[in-house]
Chains A and B, each alone.
Chain A
Amino acid sequence: MTAGDSKQPKLRVRGATKVYNTRSGDLLAIDRCSLDVMDGEIVSIVGPSGCGKTTLLWSMSGLHGLTSGEVLLDGKPVTGPNPEIGMVFQEANLLPWRNLDANINFPFEIKGTKPDRVWIDELLNRVGLEGFGGRFPRELSGGMQQRAALVRALSYKPSVLLMDEPFGALDAFTREEMNRLVEEIWLDTRTTIVLITHSIEEAIFLSDRVVVMSPRPGRVANIHEVPFPRPRSLEIMSTKEVFDLTNAIKAEIVGTQQSRFPSASAQPAQVA
């Protein structure tokens, strides 16, 4: 499934500009970024380090405001954290004093709602964490922690899932596994997903579209369609089309910034 063009966008970013007021002066982090994300679409954001990807994602989530521009969810402005939006941070961000069950209950405690145990158990099952409810984060591997964070974000059925380099700290093998998991869950739930990643492979494997951002101040430099059917098999991922697309995106990022781009993709990034 590719971007539905007739539908109205689920998440709309219009002219998003953010200036950080720091002690050493004002810093323009993102500059007039505009992006429409359709319902049920998966969009990846890639770009050089420090270009403002996290800044953009936080604006989408309502965690911080914009200097100018706006974010619309289903046509309504996002002005603060929204129960429709789930956020997965770069680090698993589990609370170390709570066991897995209590960590997954955390959003519900904050919201004052009842956890949907059936759905949570299904998610835990799917990510292979059934029976680990009593374990504390320190007793879980990095991959397990990330899976738990994913379950926590999906547990309250957000209609939009924002993920900030969710698998950046994982090894390539675990990462691929997590990507398949996200694909699987998406095939089931069709949750709208915006994903920041440093891995072009990951971006292409998961997304309908890949957004390339320019170095800071971050602007939307280019948007690539990824027209491959899902589920995306190893065969599809090793076709020439994917190879060419990977290289095209890489060239755009490396071209804008001296090969600073640490990618976990198949090709070495030394193009310069």
Chain B
Amino acid sequence: MSETDAIPEFKKSAGGDSEVGITNMSALTSGPGIKSMGEVLAIVLVAVVIIGGTELLLNIFAVPQYVLPKPSEIAVALVTDFPFILPHLGHTLVELFVGFGIGAVVGLILAAVITQFPFAEKIITPYILLLVTTPMLALVPLLILRFGFGYEPRIIAVALAAGPMVMINAATGFRRVDRGKIALARSYGASTLQIFWKVRAPMALPMIFVGLMVGSIFGLLTAVGAEMVGGGFGLGNRLTSYSSMIQMPQFFAVVLILSILGILIYVLFFLLGKKYASWEA
């Protein structure tokens, strides 16, 4: 017995569960995970070189601030203007959370329901594809006409951008039928609902996380874009107003905040995926 216990890789040759990982978390988990202190050091070093190099080059060639501000100027703008930018960040986050929340919930429910009915799925899928591929930003001027310059048009646009993304990925997950595992559950007398919650849903989880990540990033883009179209608040509004006033350090400070926000979203779902769906990574 101890013969085989000692060789965990043995499972591959035995079939095991290796067939499950057709669509996997690769988009999330096969990313370059940081491992050693050396790698962290290397990444920091590259950043220092890039930022320092840019600073140096901009100084040497005396590039004017309105073309490209120096990293040091951006840093100063970030610190001094942060109290003023902060409420705008708050507005953007509200739009993102509410819009993404609505879109994700509706998308997940639709994906779960639709995949149970292959016929309905065939009919609906082209429309979902249409929603995925249409840039929802295009609708924002229309939404503003109808709903004004408040949160509503932005939240609607975010929901419309994120929802289909979540749905299409989650549906891919729910569609993964492992006949063996469903037969296993049925052999214990499992109901359709039990099969859904105890087999289909866990099996779909990795793809659901992929959908949530892509959807939230899309939501962020759409929120900022919608803010640039109209309305007097939000990070997108800051971008248009800073650029029109040629306040380039402030402009880039906002861009930096947006990048950090995007990375934080990525990391959040990466960690969630690792915690709850790492079994097939």
Question: What are the interface flags for B149-187 relative to A under an 8 Å C-beta threshold, 1 for contact and 0 otherwise?
Answer: 000000000000000000000000000000011011111
Docked pose: A52 CA to B205 CA in angstroms: 35
Docked pose: A142 CA to B8 CA in angstroms: 8
Report the 7 A-B pairs with minimum CB-CB distance, sorted nearest first.
Answer: A142-B14, A141-B10, A143-B4, A110-B188, A128-B1, A87-B187, A169-B14
Give B residues with C-beta under 8 Å from A.
1-5, 7-17, 20, 180-181, 183-190, 194, 198-199, 202-203, 205, 277, 279-280
Nearest-Cβ distance from residue A153 to partner chain B, whole angstroms = 9
Docked pose: A221 CA to B109 CA in angstroms: 51
- Chain B residues near A136 (CB, 8 Å)? 279
Instruction: Give residues 90-146 of A contacting B (CB, 8 Å).
Output: 91-97, 106-107, 109-111, 128, 136-146
Docked pose: A225 CA to B172 CA in angstroms: 50
In the bound complex, do residue A138 and residue B11 qualify as a contact, i.e. CB atoms below 8 Å apart? yes
Nearest-Cβ distance from residue B45 to partner chain A, whole angstroms = 36
CB within 8 Å for A141 and B7 given contacts A93-B181, A96-B280, A106-B188: yes
Q: Which of B10, B17, B181 has the most C-beta atoms of chain A within 10 angstroms of its own C-beta?
A: B17
Nearest-Cβ distance from residue B17 to partner chain A, whole angstroms = 5
Task: Classify the secondary structure of B's interface with A.
Answer: helix
In the bound complex, do residue A109 and residue B198 qualify as a contact, i.e. CB atoms below 8 Å apart? yes
In the bound complex, do residue B279 and residue A96 qualify as a contact, i.e. CB atoms below 8 Å apart? yes
- Chain A residues near B202 (CB, 8 Å)? 95, 97
Q: Contact size class for A?
A: 35 or more
The residue from A63, A96, A107, A170 contacting B14, defined by CB atoms under 8 A apart: A170
Q: Which of A87, A89, A94, A143 has the most C-beta atoms of chain B within 10 angstroms of its own C-beta?
A: A143
Q: Does A177 contact B (CB under 8 A)?
A: yes
CB within 8 Å for A80 and B205 given contacts A91-B16, A93-B180, A136-B279: no
- Chain B residues near A146 (CB, 8 Å)? 14
Question: What are the interface flags for A25-47 relative to B under an 8 Å C-beta threshold, 1 for contact and 0 otherwise?
Answer: 00000000000000000000000
Instruction: Give residues 156-173 of A contacting B (CB, 8 Å).
Output: 169-171, 173
- Chain B residues near A177 (CB, 8 Å)? 1
Q: Does A189 contact B (CB under 8 A)?
A: no
Nearest-Cβ distance from residue A97 to partner chain B, whole angstroms = 4
Q: Does A214 contact B (CB under 8 A)?
A: no
In the bound complex, do residue A80 and residue B280 qualify as a contact, i.e. CB atoms below 8 Å apart? no
Which A residue's beta carbon lies closest to that of B202? A97
- Chain B residues near A111 (CB, 8 Å)? 188-189
Q: Does A174 contact B (CB under 8 A)?
A: yes
Nearest-Cβ distance from residue A180 to partner chain B, whole angstroms = 10
In the bound complex, do residue A141 and residue B180 qualify as a contact, i.e. CB atoms below 8 Å apart? no
CB within 8 Å for A142 and B184 given contacts A128-B5, A137-B16, A173-B3: no
Known pairs A95-B199, A110-B198 / 13 extra A-B pairs, C-beta < 8 Å: A61-B187, A81-B187, A92-B15, A95-B181, A96-B17, A110-B185, A110-B194, A128-B5, A137-B16, A141-B7, A141-B14, A142-B10, A142-B15
Give A residues with C-beta under 8 Å from B.
61, 63, 80-83, 85, 87, 89, 91-97, 106-107, 109-111, 128, 136-146, 169-171, 173-174, 177
In the bound complex, do residue B15 and residue A169 qualify as a contact, i.e. CB atoms below 8 Å apart? yes
- Chain A residues near B190 (CB, 8 Å)? 110
The residue from B1, B17, B183, B280 contacting A63, defined by CB atoms under 8 A apart: B183
Which B residue's beta carbon lies closest to that of A85? B187
In the bound complex, do residue A97 and residue B5 qualify as a contact, i.e. CB atoms below 8 Å apart? no
CB within 8 Å for A145 and B1 given contacts A91-B16, A96-B20: no
- Chain A residues near B205 (CB, 8 Å)? 97
The residue from A107, A137, A170 contacting B188, defined by CB atoms under 8 A apart: A107
Q: Which of B4, B5, B9, B12 has the most C-beta atoms of chain A within 10 angstroms of its own C-beta?
A: B4
- Subset of 29 A-B contacts with CB under 8 Å: A63-B183, A81-B187, A82-B189, A89-B180, A89-B183, A91-B16, A91-B17, A93-B17, A93-B181, A96-B20, A96-B280, A97-B202, A111-B188, A128-B2, A128-B5, A136-B279, A137-B16, A138-B17, A140-B8, A141-B4, A141-B7, A141-B14, A142-B4, A142-B10, A142-B11, A142-B15, A144-B4, A170-B14, A174-B3
- Chain A residues near B183 (CB, 8 Å)? 63, 87, 89
Q: Which of B4, B180, B183, B187 has the most C-beta atoms of chain A within 10 angstroms of its own C-beta?
A: B187
Docked pose: A110 CA to B184 CA in angstroms: 11
- Chain B residues near A107 (CB, 8 Å)? 188
In the bound complex, do residue B187 and residue A145 qualify as a contact, i.e. CB atoms below 8 Å apart? no
In the bound complex, do residue A81 and residue B188 qualify as a contact, i.e. CB atoms below 8 Å apart? yes
In the bound complex, do residue B15 and residue A91 qualify as a contact, i.e. CB atoms below 8 Å apart? yes
Q: Which of B12, B20, B186 has the most C-beta atoms of chain A within 10 angstroms of its own C-beta?
A: B186
Nearest-Cβ distance from residue B79 to partner chain A, whole angstroms = 45
- Chain A residues near B20 (CB, 8 Å)? 96
Docked pose: A75 CA to B181 CA in angstroms: 29
The residue from B11, B203, B280 contacting A145, defined by CB atoms under 8 A apart: B11
Docked pose: A169 CA to B10 CA in angstroms: 11
Which A residue's beta carbon lies closest to that of B20? A96
Docked pose: A170 CA to B10 CA in angstroms: 10
